[in-house]
Structure 1
Amino acid sequence: MNNIKIGNLIKTLRIKKDMTQKEIGDMLNVSDKTISKWETGNGLPDISILSSLSEVLDTQIDYLLTGEISTNDNKGGNMKNTKFYVCDKCDNIIISTNEINASCCSSPLKELNVSDSLDKELIKVDFIDNEFYVHMDHAMTKENYISFIAYVTYDKVYLNKLYPEGNAEARFRYSGRGIFYAYSKTEGLYMKKY
């Protein structure tokens, strides 16, 4: 443990709360000199007081033990941020939870965006036997077909790849509220929240 780092964190958090060393000490039943020792790195809080100190400073105990506040800079990883990329040449589908630089067949891929001009009501969702039956009235010709239907929940992505001359439909086991997507190369990306 790095006494200086821990002391600096305690001091920073105390100042952020606009409190004096005496005020913190009174709340923890220790002297202001004890708080000063901690802040200067000449001592550390006893393990028995860490829980109370973390409450007073509105921080986590593990931050007090390391002297660092970890921030979650991960902007990805959240399924609500799911992005779809499709190759125009081979119809390969890439799914990501963050913006990426993707390429396929030697060409860069662009993120698919939901088109405001597409009628989201074309995606029909029926709940049958604990499953979502997702379907669309679509011709499904080789020139214009729905190439995938996806179901995105807060922690999962389900995707059914579709092919010309098949049906524009998919079944997904119920996994909570979510967003349904359907993609046609000529029309774009449809979206419907459910």
Structure 2
Amino acid sequence: MNHYVAGAAVKALREKKGLTQAQLAEILAVSDKAVSKWETGRGLPDISLLGPLAQSLGVSIPELLSGETITNRNRTANILRSKFYACPVCGNTIHATGEAMAACCGITLPPLDPEEPDEAHACSVDYVEDEIFVTISHPMEREHHISFIAYVTMNRVDMVKLYPEGNAEARFFLRGSGQLFWYCNRHGLFSRTVQRKGRKNG
């Protein structure tokens, strides 16, 4: 398959949600011509739009990529077995629901093993109405920074890509208990649990 997102799938999901091309474009802050190109196979959404696009269409990223609704009983287990991969050359981040063969820049990437955060990689979670605000007190320099923060729940994965000179923080809609992951380009992947609202931790 040449396209990582099938245009027919985007069109079918958009129509199922009752959205016009213009309405979907407005949600994603792109032009309706861009949406039209995606649906006709004359263009592809930027990789950074996969999460917002899937959310707007009411599906998970794996469902969007496969063009099929996942209805098997193992969907929850698959999401909770999420694996992350990071390219040491370009900094690209890859997510998979379970073990996968991942490669980038000609390198086969091993799955990252999450560790308990130490003091230098501590994560703070604040609950603000129906959202969680995640902050990590960490340098954000080109040579040493947090490159992403991800929030994994039973039925979806939300990831925020971070860049040097920015802030190591992210805001997510609270979807219940789950797991936070964040990646330091020098020291690896860290993780902690997030409780549903009313059971704050950390």
- TM-score, with length taken from structure 2: 0.56
RMSD: 2.3
Aligned position for 1:103? 103
One-letter amino acid matched to 2:148: F
Hey, which bits of structure 1, 4+ residues long, moved more than 2 A?
Answer: 72-77, 115-121
Does the 8 Å CA contact 2:117/2:191 hold for their aligned counterparts?
A: no
Structure 1 gaps, min length 5:
1-71
**Whole-angstrom CA distance in 2 between matches of 1:117 and 1:168:** 15
Q: What is aligned with 2:118? A: 118
Q: Cα 1:122–1:74, aligned 2, differ >3 Å: closer, same or farther?
A: same
Does the C-alpha gap of structure 1 residues 155 and 171 become closer, same or farther in structure 2, counting only changes over 3 Å?
A: same
Residues 28-82 of structure 1 show CA distances to partners (whole Å, capped at 9, x for unaligned) of xxxxxxxxxxxxxxxxxxxxxxxxxxxxxxxxxxxxxxxxxxxx89699621100
The answer to whether the 8 Å contact 2:83/2:98 transfers is yes
2:190 alignment partner in structure 1: 190
| Rounded Cα–Cα distance in structure 1 between residues aligned with 2:175 and 2:76 | 21
Which structure has the greater CA radius of gyration? 1
Which residue matches 2:169? 169
Counterpart for residue 7 of structure 2: none
Which structure 2 residue ranges, 5 or more long, are not aligned?
A: 1-71, 195-202
Sequence identity (%): 41
Aligned to 1:92: 92
Alignment of 1:20-31 (within 5 A): none
Give the distance between the partners of 2:155 and 2:75, measured in 1 at CA.
Answer: 15
Query: In structure 2, what is the Cα distance between the partners aligned to 1:162 and 1:133?
Result: 15
Q: When the two structures are superposed, what TM-score results if normalisation uses the length of structure 1?
A: 0.58
Residue matched to 1:33:
none
Tell me what 1:60 maps to. Answer: none
Q: Give the number of aligned pairs.
A: 123
Q: Which residue of 2 aligns with 1:138?
A: 138
Superposition deviation, residue 98 in structure 1: 1.5
Q: Could you tell me which amino acid in structure 2 is paired with residue 187 of structure 1?
A: H
Structure 1 residue 121 displacement after superposition: 7.5
